[in-house]
Amino acid sequence: MSNAAVKKIRRPSRIRQKIIVAVLTVFAAVSAVIFLLPTVLTIANSFMSASEISANYGSVFATTEEGSKVYVSERINLKFIPDMVSFSQYFTVLFKSPDYLLKFWNSVILVVPIVVFQLGTASLAAYGFARLKGRLKEILFFVYIIVMLMPYQVTLVPNYLVSDWLNILDTRWAIILPGIFTPFSVFLLTKIMRRIPSVMIEAAKLDGAGELQIFMYICMPLCKSALYSVAILVFIDYWNMVEQPLILLSDPDLYPLSVFLSRINTGEIGLAFAVATIYMIPALLIFLYGEDYLVEGITYSGGIKG
């Protein structure tokens, strides 16, 4: 077959290739819009004035309220761009309704200690699991995996029982303490620490480093980016918590915003979108600056056997 003939055969397939790529790109773009839409809408709506919100969505939120009439439009009006950009929702949240800021603070005060201390105990434990050998260690690690795989419906019962024994039910400790010892980050960090080449550790030992030095000066610096990744994953899980406060806290004053947000009543719908946006901000900022770490963390988590 001559060269020209080969080219003739290839050309249509190259066009086909281009069409396929174009179709796939369009498809990906449409999906991307769908994935982003709810978030973007929430943020956009937070810049509408309260009256615009109730004019747009009155018929949705008014029905949940008995009796009292709110200014309601007949039709729902899902909009991207506010008629007039207004910061009135934010103004109300920040200066007139301290309740929401208090709930935001509740979230912070629950999540930050969990992330910090879970990473602390977990990096120690992971070092232990990565360096120890033997049957006992393997059994323990297996137990950790089982605990990790259990849904909240299972683990909340033990958590509740212990909180009751320790008399910390209805306090923040009932959420923070079990949160600190959740085995997820131990599991992830162990997998990462196992990858540290043993040659490096042997070399350090020859130079006279003890186990403590190996942990401090070899293991931890090598795991720095992994620690960021795990911190992001733990943070996002707890920032989003719903199950634990509902069961372990009976005082709604202690509720984090992740639960409280749904209790905004219809009278306050005008500021709900601003509260929702404020609550997203920490998570979105972390995502913006830490997406690569996040992806790395997810990748590490793949494969239970690892």
Specify the amino acid at residue 268: E
Site for another protein in 86-105 (CB under 8 A): none
Q: List the interface residues with another protein, window 6-25 (CB under 8 A).
A: 21, 24-25
Task: Tell me the C-alpha distance between 132 and 138, whole Å.
Answer: 9
Choosing from 65, 138, 170, 243, the residue that interacts with another protein (CB under 8 A) is 243
- Torsion-angle region of residue 82: left (phi > 0), alpha (psi -120 to 50) or beta? beta
Contact 55, 73 (CB under 8 A): yes
Residue 181 engages another protein in binding (rule: CB under 8 A): yes
CA 32 to chain centre: 19
- Give the type of residue at 191: K
3-state SS class at 78: coil
Q: Establish if 41 lies at the interface with another protein (CB under 8 A).
A: yes
CA 5 to the chain's CA centroid:
56
Q: Which of 9, 78, 116, 200 binds another protein (CB under 8 A)?
A: 78
Question: Distance (Å, rounded) from C-alpha 108 to C-alpha 253?
Answer: 14
> Please, which residue, 138 or 253, has the CB nearer to another protein?
138
- Rg of the chain's alpha carbons, rounded to an integer? 26
Angle between the 269-301 and 3-45 helix axes, to the nearest 10 degrees? 140
Does position 129 interact with another protein (CB under 8 A)? The reply is yes
Q: Is 180 in the site for another protein (CB under 8 A)?
A: yes
Letter for the amino acid at 190?
T
Segment near another protein (CB under 8 A); pick from 4-12, 92-100, 147-155, 220-228: 147-155
**Binding range to another protein, per CB under 8 A, among 2-10, 87-95, 150-158, 221-229:** 150-158
Scanning residues 160 to 179, which ones bind another protein (CB under 8 A)?
A: 160-162, 177-178
Q: How many alpha carbons lie under 13 Å from residue 254 in its C-beta half-sphere?
A: 18
Number of residues that bind another protein (CB under 8 A): 100
Binding map of another protein across residues 268-287, x = CB under 8 A, - = no contact: ----xx--xx-xx--xx-xx
In the bound state with another protein, the residue whose beta carbon lies nearer, of 85 and 154, is 154
- CB of 200 vs another protein, minimal distance in Å: 15
Cα distance between residue 20 and residue 16, in whole Å = 6
Is 147 among the residues that bind another protein (CB under 8 A)?
yes
Nearest distance from C-beta of residue 3 to another protein, angstroms: 19
Q: Is 47 in the site for another protein (CB under 8 A)?
A: no
Nearest approach in angstroms of CB 39 to another protein is 5
Are the C-beta atoms of 106 and 256 separated by less than 8 Å? yes
Compare residues 156 and 192 and give the one whose CB is closer to another protein: 156
Instruction: Identify the sign of the CA torsion 150, 154, 159, 162.
Output: negative
Distance CA 290, CA 293 (A): 5
* Smallest gap from residue 45 Cβ to another protein (A): 8
Q: Is 55 in the site for another protein (CB under 8 A)?
A: no
Of 105-124, which residues contact another protein (CB under 8 A)?
Answer: 121-122, 124
Q: Is 200 in the site for another protein (CB under 8 A)?
A: no
